[in-house]
Amino acid sequence: MNTFIENQNWRYATKKFDVTKKISNENLEILKEAIRLSTSSYGLQPYKVLIVENPEIRAQLQPVSWGQAQITEASHLFVFANIIDVQDIHIDEYISNIANTRDLNIEDLKGYADFMKSKITPLETNKKAIWTSKQTYLALANLMNAAAELKIDVTPMEGFEPEKYNEILGLNELGLNASLVATIGYRHEEDQTQYFTKVRKSNTELFTIIK
């Protein structure tokens, strides 16, 4: 646990990446697995993760990312895209996955499936979109923690235009919406931000103990 806290103090939102350093395939697979193993409501994982390596596409995305250089300079660009309108079919696919993974009969999972459908499907589309977008933040947290363990830098971003991302990446046709962006790579020695003391609220300010 001490190592975990040390790594959390080490990490920061990188402002300048070293373009000469790339994430190895081995480490990329570890980061992908960390995302795949992330917690989510019901275990449904109502999102997709696009890993954008194509430099031309990333060049298109930079202007609609408030011009932030990390979009093109980082080793990899991850786009977390939430499912806008979760339907019964998404739940049925999840139930099928459970049955196959645990060698169960789908019929035995009907109660759980019906429960999820009763809670999710009737919601208004905008409420479902808000809920699924929140799930992407859980996945991002796992990515950031795993990356810190590997001494890989991650810059989470909300500073972009989702509508433009959806258009450039063809997400609208897939029923997806760009919720979060994360640039991943290795910090440049010229990035002065890495030397700043981390600023956080004190325990007294942040926590309230109710006995």
pLDDT one-digit tens code per residue, 76-112: 999 999 999 999 999 999 999 999 999 999 999 999 9
pLDDT of 2: 81
The pLDDT value given to residue 4:
95
Q: Are residues 108 and 183 in the same domain?
A: no
Q: What is the CATH number of the domain that holds 14?
A: 3.40.109.10
pLDDT-based confidence at residue 43 (cuts at 50, 70, 90): very high
Q: Could you tell me if residue 211 is inside a domain?
A: no
Number of domains in the chain: 2
The Cα 16–Cα 29 span in angstroms is: 24
Q: Are residues 20 and 72 in the same domain?
A: yes
pLDDT tens-digit map of 159-196: 999 999 999 999 999 999 999 999 999 999 999 999 99
Same domain, 107 and 169: no
Domain that holds residue 99: 87-120
User: What's this model's pTM, rounded to 2 decimal places?
Assistant: 0.96
Say how many C-beta atoms besides its own lie within 10 A of residue 4's C-beta. Answer: 11
Looking at the domain assignment, is residue 96 inside a domain?
yes
Q: How far is CA 127 from the centre of its chain?
A: 19
Question: Is the domain of 56 the same as that of 25?
Answer: yes
